[in-house]
Structure 1
């Protein structure tokens, strides 16, 4: 079924003729990927023979879905025309079609709101700004019994969920992948690209218009320090030392994610970050079981200061609940967030990370960044609160809250000569 309101461009038409059940599109800014994907959902909803067909459009944040996609969905459904039979629910951001099909908009910042549903088709927009587990843990199972399809669209922002899905998809013949650079599509006039190149940093231009996964992340707090760790071989395979205690640092979410870093303090002032865990919508009893299952010999557990707050439902603080589960927390000092970020910067050069077990946490640290204030044309003094925040906050509590057992000192800048593998330099 055609949509008279939508005429695909050359590259959009090429894509529509090549899409598979699972497709990944890496496209430059102003390519038209949102229009393309909205119309794919509309076409599927109108042509389905299922009276209970369900489609979803998932943006990083719910407000982004409302701001960027909702008006486009209504427009291409024909809102306001005499022929339009689609009903729009403004409260739920939902389009109900005459044949019983539905399309609804969601935000990936609340993964639990997506659980328990079934889906026939789903679009992930700006995948680089989402946690990868939204796909693997929540949406992929929702497609299984319906043989549903998924389409991932976005512009790179470093090596994150979009990069991971892109790399896996390229190696899978059942997936469709396509990458469109502004220098190749001709959609944006060369003069405009040249002007953008003069006004943007080279890294920004390469990322936004040439779809580079390796360009620097704008406003990242720890990006260069983690690049240094990669270069120095400090993101590698770390062997857990069973003779030494494992310390944990937590960011405790209420309705969203909780993150836990697992670290061993080594002689010479270095730290082996051996593990990372994150989950959403679970109680403290779940995390107590995780600690037991890991089988480590534990030392200090560090929690944020708000763990003392009593919950209305139980009248108990999470500190008290944790004690009843056998977890005795030390409380990180309540200092300004910028001071905590500076503390992380100070100790990152002393840290070695297990590249596999800590992968989600490392990527979050790599992409943790300041927001850009369009009004003042400057970076904000505050970080963006998104999928990176929980891992970054947990590591910040480690940086400000951990005291070395032998000295009582918190982490501080020291020599980086010590290698936690037992050698002075190099990998094991």
Structure 2
């Protein structure tokens, strides 16, 4: 009679390890149980292969690994010790792990890809390669590692906490339609054994570090900078469902709020938020940003997107002659057939006024998720510049890539006027007696 061993896994990971696959993976935030689960399942595979008389190595890699202390060695040791039936089949030393007492011989090796990527080509008999903390792994590293998996049933396992859509790991694995890629998202709420101490830390981060919370615990990309002005506002908007499907209302007027850039490779960016004021809601339906392009390019975008009748609102420099030869931005936009208004100079403290007004107005702002992401990323980064000396003095908003979107957004919030009851649509009722 054959004994059956049971391995407890978070339910979301069960399909990942079921059946055949070339790549198995999981991504998400802290406390999901993915790292311990992958460590334990690697030992299960080692036991199965050694029991079947197979010999070879399980390569555990990370992009950065200066010493074994930076590797998955200790995680694998603990995962094996959690299963007494499994532990009896492994020899666990200070710097090594290998199967014992079985027909085959399977052992673990550990490697940092940033230092040894060329040597990976010479690795023999790799039955399994598990890359943990895989977010920073470069495309070059993936290109050299994957072809080393030459055994008939070799597999690649990948686990990571996402940071950027631009990462090679995200591009290569997360959106793959290959049926032999079994990859899932898993977060703390998917872990039945999520420990109480981590729950307390999660609650603290939710309150004290809202700008980091989504990335740390929900597996989101790094979209906000620590100390960003709108970090908590963006988190609240997401939690309350104000970032989602908010398309253009065809019967309501359209407004376009600008931050004016210029032409040339080194010019500031031009940013435009397209929105509608619907009752007390500020519905943001679109976002545009471009650098070094003439005014005609920006207006052409408005027309392509169907905003031919957008009411354009410009900051105070829209009435100056500095940006367009022999004309102002305002007059040029009006000559192109758009209605246009310039908001006067708010004087000293204008930037701070925009920020405070935007924070106050944020609870009534909704975002159409698919069309406003670049602008929301900028809002999540917009932050105060700090002095580099020991005093750490606040120097006001930092003028960087995010400030153009933030200035246009602040202009929108400053310009908004809350409707009164007489401003609301009136419904005519015909009584029939």
Could you state the TM-score of these two structures normalised by the residue count of structure 2? Answer: 0.49
Greater Rg by CA: 2
